[in-house]
Amino acid sequence: MFLTIDGLNIEYKEAGNPNGVPVLLLHGWGSSFDVYNGIIRALSDKCHFFALNFPGCGKSDCMKSAWSLDDYCCLVLKFLSEMKIENPILIGHSHGGRVTLKMTADKMISPPKIVLLDSAGLIPKKTAKQKMKARNFKAIKKVLSLPVINKVSGGLLEKARNHYGSADYNSAPPVLRQTLVSLVNTDIRDILPNISCPSLLIWGENDTATPLSDARIIESLIPDAGLCVIKGTGHFSFCEKPYEAHAILRSFL
């Protein structure tokens, strides 16, 4: 199903018990609402699920210019308004968690509860290796961007970008690359104490994209938060050990 919001065709789905608790599912960067199929099946008796694919994901149109975190929040708010969804529980994975945190902390929405699955939202500390990699790319980019060299360098800058960039960055079209840079450089820890609703964090013990140390910081900053760590899992902990994640969710919801 599709809904047109600000000129973009946004793909969405609705599933579960129409008389159940309304739940909005927000997926992570480069993913889609399909990542939540297991949760929907497991909790469809109790919950009325809604999910949308962010621009450039699934079959949703891509935005024309780079977006900020606020742009994503506005999209979600307009989706809720168009669908007439009131006070849903929010469940967000990775980037979807970042959007959930921002909307809740800034009082754009007043959910009864939120669930953060390996959520983004903090600027991670770079390792020495990552810092060196970033410095090397900046130096190469500066040289290859010089007018004299740029005319004869061919695709060397793009090759350097592919070598030094992350997988998410390299696989994205230019507008999403610019958006990703904006998002990963947005740190929202200062507003997290404004979140007053019960907040559940489910995290993979071995998550390298949004490490467990981030989860502990987020838990400490939200007044009413609890953290559940799923052993032996990574950034998609709720997919890697679904039965454990579903049991935790059912208890909380």
Give per-residue pLDDT as tens, 93-136: 999 999 999 999 999 999 999 999 999 999 976 555 544 544 55
In the block, which residue shows the tokens 């609705």?
14
Whether the CB-CB separation of 109 and 37 falls below 8 Å is answered with no
Domains in the chain: boundaries: 2-123+187-252, 128-180
Q: What is the pTM of this model?
A: 0.85
Kindly state the tokens that stand for 111: 């959910």
- CATH architecture of the domain formed by 2-123+187-252: 3-Layer(aba) Sandwich (3.40)
Q: What is the CA radius of gyration of the chain?
A: 19
Q: What is the largest CA-CA distance in the chain?
A: 66
Kindly state the tokens that stand for 127: 């390792």
Backbone angles phi and psi of 196, in degrees to 5: -110, -15
How buried is residue 187: exposed, middle or buried, by Cβ count under 10 Å (0-12/13-18/19+)? exposed
d(CA 40, CA 58): 17
pLDDT by residue (tens digit) across 177-232? 999 999 999 999 999 999 999 999 999 999 999 999 999 999 999 999 999 999 99
